């Protein structure tokens, strides 16, 4: 089966915590949300509202069917006007996940607010590849995202056997669908691994590196897979990706290594599988790439399991 780099990355990005709530509000209103280290998403099911990112003067208008992703958790304002009366956030966040708040009779705007608190070795790489706001618009694809959120909310609101696993899969599927739609509609994002995936020639080389990360890849071999000259491939890959092919390969190997280290796998096995002849060579590459030693990623240093963190706002 052909390697799928987007799936590979997302398998290393696991929701540590997530939550979704509904809002049905009438009249003049605003919701002021502080910056947080989460990935936020908002969907409008009926009516419309404005969204103001921190520091931006103009609003982004969200109509029915709109879906937006905020990968960096920027401070923002949602509402009919930026300076409209504020919704009591304590009241809103006191609701259980999966509930919908009815405010001032509802009717003006009905939508869904959610967040992902991500855990995993590839989280920062994913965030760096995305802008401050990913607007996915309306239409059939966005409707699919809305369906996933609407399916996820009752799993959180009414726990049933197997519900936690279903909710985790739905949340990860939602993220994958949003990123896939972003790739299909944003053209070439530029300066990131997502941009490479948007170019078929370069994507072929990345897929090969993901399929066999331990292979002794050379520029010549990768260039042939891309159907380009050695120098042309190296220059174009670095321009689109933001780093040379060999650097990308090393970084991918270290992301895989970090994930496997947190699972308690032996360093000797990891080093061998990723193409290093010795633990010392692997350790040097790991420190050079990540800034820490492999030992810092052993289970005794691992973060708490998903769901054990403090409650996070949307």
**Digit-coded pLDDT (tens) for 142-164:** 778 888 888 888 888 888 898 88
The pLDDT score that the predictor gives to residue 303 is 45
Q: Could you tell me which of 28, 62, 60, 29 has the C-alpha nearest to residue 45? A: 62
What value does the mean pLDDT take over residues 189-211? Answer: 84
Every domain of the chain and the residues it spans: 5-185, 193-300
Q: What pLDDT band is residue 306 in, cutting at 50, 70 and 90?
A: very low
What is the C-alpha separation between 87 and 29, in angstroms, rounded?
A: 7
pTM of the model: 0.77
Q: List, in sequence order, every residue forming a beta bridge with 212; answer none if it has no partner.
A: none
Which residues lie closer than 8 Å to 262 by C-beta, 6 or more apart?
121, 297, 298, 299, 302
Share of the chain above pLDDT 70, in %: 91
> For residue range 78-130, what is the model confidence (pLDDT) as tens digits?
999 999 999 998 888 888 888 999 999 999 999 999 998 888 778 887 888 88
Domain 5-185 and domain 193-300, same fold? Reply is: no
Report which secondary-structure segment, H or E, holds 147: helix 140-157
- Give the residue from 264, 299, 258, 297 showing the smallest Cα distance to 125: 258
DSSP letter for 219, please: H
> In this structure, which topology does domain 193-300 adopt according to CATH?
Arc Repressor Mutant, subunit A (1.10.10)
What's the residue count for the chain? 314
**Helix and strand numbers, DSSP H then E, in the chain:** 12, 9
Statement: 5-185 belongs to CATH 2.60.120.280: yes
Residue 302's alpha-carbon distances to 62, 119, 254, 295, 305, in angstroms, are: 39, 10, 16, 11, 9
Work out the average pLDDT over 260-288. 94
Note whether 13 and 122 are within 8 A (CB): yes
Angle between the 279-290 and 245-262 helix axes, to the nearest 10 degrees? Answer: 100
What is the three-class DSSP state of 310? coil
CB contact set of 166 (below 8 Å; sequence gap of 6+): 155
Pairing of strands 60-63, 109-119: unpaired
Q: Do 95 and 114 contact (CB within 8 A), yes or no?
A: no
> How far is residue 211's CA from residue 204's CA, in Å, rounded to a whole number?
11
- 47 or 139, which is more confident: 47
Kindly tell me if the per-residue pLDDT of 307 is higher than 50: no
- Listed in sequence order, the residues at least 6 apart from 86 whose beta carbon sits closer than 8 Å to its beta carbon are 29, 30, 31, 32
Burial of 45 (0-12, 13-18, 19+ CB in 10 A): middle
**What pLDDT is recorded for position 305?**
40
- Looking at residue 172, its pLDDT comes to 83
First to last CA, the chain: 38
**Residue 50 three-state SS:** strand
């Amino acid at each position: 089966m052909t390697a799928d780099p987007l799936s590979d990355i997302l398998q290393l990005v696991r929701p540590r915590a997530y939550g979704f709530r509904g809002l049905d509000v009438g009249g003049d209103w605003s919701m002021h949300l502080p910056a947080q280290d989460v990935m936020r998403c908002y969907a409008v099911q009926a009516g419309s509202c404005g969204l103001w990112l921190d520091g931006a003067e103009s609003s982004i208008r969200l109509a029915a069917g709109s879906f937006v992703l905020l990968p960096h958790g920027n401070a923002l304002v949602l509402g009919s006007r930026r300076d409209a009366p504020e919704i009591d956030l304590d009241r809103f966040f006191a609701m259980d996940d999966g509930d919908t708040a009815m405010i001032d009779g509802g009717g003006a705007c009905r939508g869904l607010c959610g967040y992902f608190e991500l855990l995993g070795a590839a989280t920062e790489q994913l965030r760096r590849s995305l802008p401050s706001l990913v607007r996915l618009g309306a239409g059939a694809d966005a409707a699919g995202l809305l369906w996933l959120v609407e399916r996820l909310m009752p799993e959180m609101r009414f726990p049933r056997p197997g519900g936690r696993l279903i909710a985790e899969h739905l949340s990860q599927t939602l993220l994958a669908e949003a990123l896939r739609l972003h790739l299909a509609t944003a053209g070439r994002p530029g300066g990131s691994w997502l941009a490479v995936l948007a170019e078929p020639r370069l994507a072929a080389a990345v897929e090969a590196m993901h399929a066999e990360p331990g292979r002794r890849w050379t520029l010549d071999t990768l260039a042939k897979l891309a159907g380009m000259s050695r120098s042309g491939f190296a220059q174009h890959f670095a321009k689109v990706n933001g780093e040379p092919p060999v650097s990308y390969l090393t970084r991918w190997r270290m992301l895989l290594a970090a994930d496997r280290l947190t699972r308690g796998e032996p360093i000797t096995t990891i080093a061998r599988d990723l193409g290093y002849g010795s633990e010392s060579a692997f350790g040097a590459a790991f420190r050079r790439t990540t800034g820490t030693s492999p030992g810092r990623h052993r289970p005794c240093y691992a973060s708490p399991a998903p769901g054990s963190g403090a409650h996070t706002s949307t």
